[in-house]
Amino acid sequence: MPPLRLKESNLPSLTSKTALITGATSGIGLQTAILLASHGATVHIASRNAAKGEETVTALRAQYPSHTYHYHPLDLSSIASAAASAANFARENTCLDILIANAGVACVPVDELSTDGLDMAFAVNHVGHFVFISGLLPLLRSTAEKSGDVRVVITSSDAHKFVDKVDLSDVDRRIPGDGGSIRDLPAATRRYGRSKRANILFAMELDRRLRAPPGGGSGCTGIRVNVCHPGTIGATGLGDGPAFGMMTWMSGLTRKLVTIVGITPREGAMTQTLLAAAEKIREEDVHGRFFAPRTGWNMRYTHSEEVDLGEWAQSVEDAKALWEWTEGWVDKVLGKGNLGGE
Ligand SMILES: NC(=O)c1ccc[n+]([C@@H]2O[C@H](COP(=O)([O-])OP(=O)(O)OC[C@H]3O[C@@H](n4cnc5c(N)ncnc54)[C@H](OP(=O)(O)O)[C@@H]3O)[C@@H](O)[C@H]2O)c1
């Protein structure tokens, strides 16, 4: 069978839908918010910086007065904060049709750990989203019971190829030094790759657990979880931070080159927006799959397409091990059974 293809023309009206996007104050997340809202969805912009979040909402409302945006505070770098943010959202809202786990950090200083003692990229990109999504599952489930069509999209990256497994042996270790010198670049890159590989295993395991809960009970087929690589996009804030020994002009030039050969933030938003909204996902019951953008001869986005990642992405054993490790770490921080959600 040819791989499933999705195009911008597959985006339907979303007037009855409520969406939440993590990290929608800039880059791909911001463009995803605009795309969903332009099709009628009510969009919640979740991010850590309240001033920036409110400013984003104000600017978007001024630019697109007919769209509906709200700001929701969320700091994914802290387990307690991510859990509280999910609980607050669930208390304040009666439904959630679309959840896009888009926020991410890359190439962060390797001498820093999160408040919970984890490599910052792993804390924000994987653990924070694990906690936030887990806390929202009851709301997602109750929405799915009514509509039969709830979407969870996890934004991963082709950077998952930087590592060949999710090795957690040094995930709670800072690397001595200033964390941002040229000798730290390979470690920072590897750490980002590990978090993005974890995104894929988490998405697959979440999808399996929703359909066949490990403790028994009724499965949920109305929530469809998929994962994507959004494309290579230079014009976002990703990787702003330590220059890893590069001079300012050199890192500026690198970003410019990526911007020229890459796709735009709007094009980068397209794959996750299509997974979140296209009717085809419901009609063909697409879940537990990985998608990426495709470009034409002129390097411009043409469509999004399913990609077969091979056996590792379907490894039940590896995904279960990652899930249990994450749950264990969360339990250590919050106390067993306090994750909220299900
Ligand atoms: N750009 C690319 O080429 C590329 C390629 C493959 C995958 N991706 C993935 O695409 C996603 C979006 O990246 P982007 O390029 O759009 O980057 P970006 O412009 O830097 O956007 C990242 C977003 O994440 C938010 N964020 C960071 N730390 C957070 C935290 N602790 N809690 C809550 N929100 C936080 C940021 O909020 P603040 O505004 O507060 O910083 C920002 O809104 C990431 O998951 C990234 O891994 C990007």
188-212 pLDDT, tens digit per residue, is: 999 999 999 999 999 999 999 999 9
For ligand 1, is residue 76 a contact (CB within 6 Å)? yes
Catalytic residue among 69, 71, 192, 301: 192
Model confidence at 246: pLDDT above 80: no
Q: How far is the CA of 101 from the centre of ligand 1 (A)?
A: 10
Find out whether the beta carbon of 97 lies less than 6 Å from any atom of ligand 1: no
Q: What is the pLDDT of residue 218?
A: 85
134 lines ligand 1 (CB under 6 A): no
Domain boundaries, the chain: 13-331
Buried b (16+ CB within 10 A) or exposed e, 221-254: ebbbbbbbbbbbbbbbebbebbbbeeeeeebeee
Is the pLDDT at 14 greater than 90, yes or no?
yes
* Over residues 299-323, mean pLDDT: 96
Candidate from 27-31, 109-113, 115-119 with smallest mean pLDDT: 109-113
Place of tokens 């490790």: 325
Give the pLDDT score at 43.
97
Residue 80, both tokens: 């307690």
What are the tokens at 3? 């791989």
31 lines ligand 1 (CB under 6 A): no
Which atom of ligand 1 lies at the shortest distance from residue 23's CA? 43
48 lines ligand 1 (CB under 6 A): yes
Measured N-to-C along each axis, helices 129-147 and 316-334 cross at an angle, to the nearest 10 degrees, of 110
Q: For ligand 1, is residue 273 a contact (CB within 6 Å)? A: no
Q: Which atom of ligand 1 is nearest to the CA of 262?
A: 3
Q: What separation in Å is there between the alpha carbon of 38 and the centre of ligand 1?
A: 21
> How far is CA 298 from each of CA 247, 253, 260, 302, rounded to the nearest angstrom?
31, 21, 11, 10
Q: How far is CA 120 from the centre of its chain?
A: 15
Question: Into which CATH architecture does domain 13-331 fall?
Answer: 3-Layer(aba) Sandwich (3.40)
* Interval 303-330 mean pLDDT: 97
More confident: 20 or 178: 20
Q: Is 227 in the pocket of ligand 1 (CB under 6 A)?
A: no
Query: Is 70 exceeded by the pLDDT of residue 342?
Result: no
Helices (H), the chain: 27-38, 50-63, 79-92, 120-122, 129-147, 185-211, 248-261, 265-277, 279-283, 316-334
Residue 124 alpha carbon, nearest atom of ligand 1: 31
CB 56 within 8 A of CB 29: no
Mean pLDDT of 208-228: 93
255 CB under 6 A from ligand 1?
A: no
What percentage of residues in the chain have a pLDDT greater than 70?
A: 96
Question: Residue 71 Cα, ligand 1 centroid: separation in angstroms?
Answer: 16
Separation of first and last alpha carbons in the chain: 36
- Please state the φ and ψ torsions of residue 328, each to the nearest 5 degrees: -60, -45
Out of 21, 22, 25, give the residue to mutate to test ligand 1, the one with the largest number of ligand atoms within 8 Å of its CB.
Answer: 25
- Please give the mean pLDDT across all residues of the chain: 93
* Ligand 1 binding pocket mutation candidate from 236, 257, 291 (most atoms within 8 A of CB): 236
Active site residue 71: no
For residue 245, the model assigns a pLDDT of: 66
Type of residue numbered 223: I
- Complete edge-to-edge strand list for the sheet that includes strand 5-6: 5-6, 301-306, 290-295, 223-228, 150-155, 98-101, 18-22, 42-47, 68-73
